[in-house]
Structure 1
Amino acid sequence: MQSKSIFFNSTAFLFIFVAILLIATAVHASFSQQSFMKPDEGIAEVIITSDNYVVKDNSCEATCTATIQSGDTNIYVEYKLDDASVEFLDIINVVQRDQTINAYIDSSEIEKINAAIAGSN
């Protein structure tokens, strides 16, 4: 009777171990695939910098949206105000010369955009 109990316990342990191993392998494979995806080779990243950002269009309904203009670049954003400052900012799209571009906007530029939005309200 004792040996049968050990057999069932080891079989259950083995089954649980294999199940955990399969789940871990599947999770690892999905993360690895996401981590090594490369952006399209044909799209160059554009770094956005400006001395002056102008709020071209600004509206607040359920969420606030604005079009920020810097030279020939329009930055479309959603944001939320907390009193007179920007609580959060989400960049929706960046368009340069009527084409959507892959843009990098540095945190110091985000601060300037936040200041332009706060100053326009």
Structure 2
Amino acid sequence: MNLKPILINTALALALSGCLAQAESIEDQPQVDIAAKQYEVQSVNCNQICVATVKADEYNIYVEYALDDASVEFLDILNVVHFDKTINAYVDRYEIEKINAAIAGGVK
């Protein structure tokens, strides 16, 4: 009897089940309300649409936006990271306005 194929298949099945068990959806995490006194644009990369990292206290907010002259035409939050971990974040309209002002303030 050849045990190698059985052991390999068993190890593969255990590895795959471990990966699936670890995969926690961001929506399953508790939601964190983001509110900062100050938003600082850390980096910007623009082609047709801009992508920026905005620092908000101990959070990094990754945004995608487009400019219309010197104002932000639209802004989408792509990701919010806290200590190198993506979190389930809620950013209300007032905070988005502050992020827009930080981005527009950096436009020259």
Partner of 1:62, secondary structure, is: coil
1:82 pairs with 2:68: yes
1:94 paired to 2:73: no
TM-aligned CA deviation for residue 72 of structure 1: 1.3
**Which protein is bigger by CA-based radius of gyration?**
1
**Counterparts of 1:70 and 1:54, CA distance in 2:** 7
What is the aligned length? Answer: 81
- Partner of 2:98, secondary structure, is helix
- Structure showing the higher helix proportion among its residues: 1
CA distance in structure 2 between the partners assigned to 1:62 and 1:84 by the alignment: 15
Corresponding residue for residue 6 of structure 2: none
What is the TM-score with the length of structure 2 in the denominator? 0.73
Query: How far apart, in 2, do the equivalents of 1:106 and 1:88 lie?
Result: 15
Per the alignment, in what secondary structure is the counterpart of residue 102 of structure 2?
Answer: helix
Pair 1:44 & 2:5 matched: no
Q: Percent identity?
A: 58
Residue identity in the other structure for 1:50:
A
Using the TM superposition, give the Cα deviation of residue 84 of structure 1 relative to its aligned residue in structure 2, in angstroms: 0.6
TM-score (norm 1): 0.65
Q: Does 1:111 align with 2:97?
A: yes
Instruction: List runs of 5+ in structure 2 lacking aligned partners.
Output: 1-26
Task: Name structure 1 gaps, 5 residues minimum.
Answer: 1-38
| Aligned CA-pair RMSD | 0.8
- Residues 47-104 of structure 1 show CA distances to partners (whole Å, capped at 9, x for unaligned) of 0001100000012112101000012100000000011100000000000011000000
Number of the residue aligned with 1:120: 106
Which gives a bigger RCO, structure 1 or 2 (Cα 8 Å, sep 6+)?
2
Q: Does 1:67 align with 2:39?
A: no
